Every structure is written in structure tokens, then in C-alpha cells.
Amino acid sequence: MDAFKHHWPTFRDYVLILAGSVIEAIALRLFLVPANLASGGVSGIAQLLNHFTGWPIGVMVLLGNLPLFAVGWRYLGGRRFALRTAFSVLVYSVVVDLIPRFHLIPANGITDDIFLNSLYGAVVAGVGYGLVYRARSSSGGSDILARILNHYRSVSMTQSYLMVDSAVILAAGFVFGWKQALYAIITLYVSGIVSETILEGSGTVRTALIITAQPDQVSMRVLDELERGVTILQGTGAYTGEDRPVLYCVITRAEVAQLKAIVQEADPQAFIVIGVAHEALGEGFKSLQRT
């Protein structure tokens, strides 16, 4: 039993990678390929080659990732991350080629509307990417290329992704047409938003920094009325040189107005900064152990 508990996180991660990779493959075959919407990275290149040669997309994705793995192994975040990425690429490549072979989904997709294919392809693929990322893995392709560019050319990861995917979409514009290329850009953008939501969760919360002359009164009311914890940080005014406490707390979006009212009533001269945090884990919010 103890051994199972010890290996459960790894087993769970590989299940997520398996599910995410299958979902990515379905998105490609059901929405992107029928509409000639090129995905980014190696998959997009494989789609372009498939258009001219008819070679299997999955095989080309797998072969295209092999040299990238050979060059980028040491930049893939360690052996565990690299092995999970390899598993993700393998599953994705196999499923992409099995789907048409066994007629698992309609060969021409479920709609000929390019907008619907772009939108739903992005959402479905984004869910797949998010599951793979939650398992501390990646889908290979663009990720490996971005890491190599980041290491050898000191290009930021964001710029690396943009360069790789933009080059593929530019090529797709010449092959499939510029209308498809423009929709492909939308697909990449929306899939990124969806994958981020799956990865980080939708439980966006608010953080508040409060500088007040009445720290005790404000903190007690937050504890009693909002039932939220308050941390007191020691701060020093740069202009006055005076020590003054800074209150820090995390609240939900619905509690922002109530917090403002508490601070205003306790100290109308207070200074408050409210920021956005993607996720809060721990007491009063999502359990840290469940993540």
C-alpha cells in the first residue's frame, strides 16, 4: 500500500499525459486537418509535408522530434521531464495515425465551417495541452525548439515559441492559403488560453496589500468578517523613514468590495493595492495536497 502511494503521483501523471495526448490527436484529426489549419511546431510541419507527399502525419511528428531530442535532451528540464515528453510524443504520433486507419472519427471532420473548426480545434487541443502540462511534461516539437533557441541564442522562451510557430504558419499561408493561416493564428492563441486555464485552474483570486495607520482594527475585521487570514509585514516609508506595518491578505473576487469598505471605515487615509493571482492553495482555498 505504501509503495502504491509512493508511485501514485507518477502513475497519475502518465495517465494525464496519455489522456492529453489522445485529446490533442483528436483535435488535429477532427478539426485542424480537415480545415487545413496548420498547428504550430513539428505537427504543423508534418501537416504541410503530408499535403504534398501523403506521408503519415504521426510518423513525421515522431521522426521530426527524434533529432530535436538528440540535440535538446539536456535542456528538457531533467531526465524525468524528458522521458514524459518522449511518452507524450509517442502516444500522440501513434494515435494521430491510428484514427484514420480505423475510421475512429469522420475523415472530413464534422463540419466544413472553418471558424467552427478553428474554435473547437483550439479548445479541444488546449484541453489536451493543459493535461499534458499538468503532468509536468510537454508535447515536444515547439517546446524543444524553443528551449534550444533559448540556450544557444539567448532568445526568451516566449519569443522562441513565437518565432517557431510563426514560421510554420507563414509557410502554411503559402500552402493552404492566407485565410487558413489567419484562422490558424486564432487557433494557436485560443488553445494557449485554454491550456493555461487547465494548467493553472480557473480559481483566480485577489491579493491585497494594505498600508494603514489602523493595522490592528483592519486585520481584526478581516479575520472576523471575511474569515480570511492576514499576514503583517514590516515596512518602512522611504520619505518619512517611519516604520509602518503592511497587511497582506488573499481574498476572492466577490470579497473585494467588502474589503475596501472595511479599510475605508477603519482608516479613510489608508493605501491599498489589489492584484490578481492565478491560484491560491492552502487553508481557506484549494487544498495543496489535492494538487
Instruction: Please report, for residues 13, 66, 80, 136, 139, the alpha-carbon distance to residue 10 in angstroms, rounded to integers and kept in the order given.
Output: 5, 24, 10, 10, 17
The number of beta carbons lying within 10 Å of the beta carbon of residue 18 is 18
Q: What pLDDT does 215 receive?
A: 92
Q: What pLDDT does 260 receive?
A: 92
Helix (H, G, I), strand (E, B) or coil at 82: helix
- For residue 234, the cross-strand partners are 245
- Residue 80's domain comprises 2-200
Length of the chain measured in residues:
291
Beta-carbon contacts of 133 under 8 Å, excluding residues fewer than 6 positions away, are 195, 198, 199
**Domain membership flag for residue 170:** yes
- Same domain for 41 and 136, yes or no, is yes
| pTM (2 d.p.) | 0.78
- Same domain for 157 and 176, yes or no, is yes
Q: What pLDDT does 252 receive?
A: 83
- Same domain for 171 and 227, yes or no, is no
The number of C-alpha atoms within 13 Å of 114 and in the hemisphere containing its C-beta is: 15
**Domain membership flag for residue 290:** no
- pLDDT tens string for the chain (291 positions)? 555 555 667 889 999 999 999 999 999 999 999 999 998 889 999 999 999 999 999 999 999 988 878 776 766 656 777 888 889 999 999 999 999 988 888 888 999 999 999 999 999 999 999 899 888 788 887 777 776 776 677 666 557 777 788 889 899 999 999 999 999 999 988 988 888 788 776 667 899 999 998 999 999 999 988 888 999 998 888 888 888 899 999 998 878 888 999 999 999 999 999 998 877 777 767 666 655
- Same domain for 195 and 212, yes or no, is no
Q: What is the CATH number of the domain that holds 269?
A: 3.30.70.120
- Same domain for 175 and 62, yes or no, is yes
Q: What pLDDT does 157 receive?
A: 58
Please answer whether residues 136 and 203 qualify as being in contact, where contact means their C-beta atoms are separated by less than 8 angstroms: no
Cell of 82: 524528458
Number of domains in the chain: 2
- Same domain for 20 and 148, yes or no, is yes
- Same domain for 178 and 132, yes or no, is yes
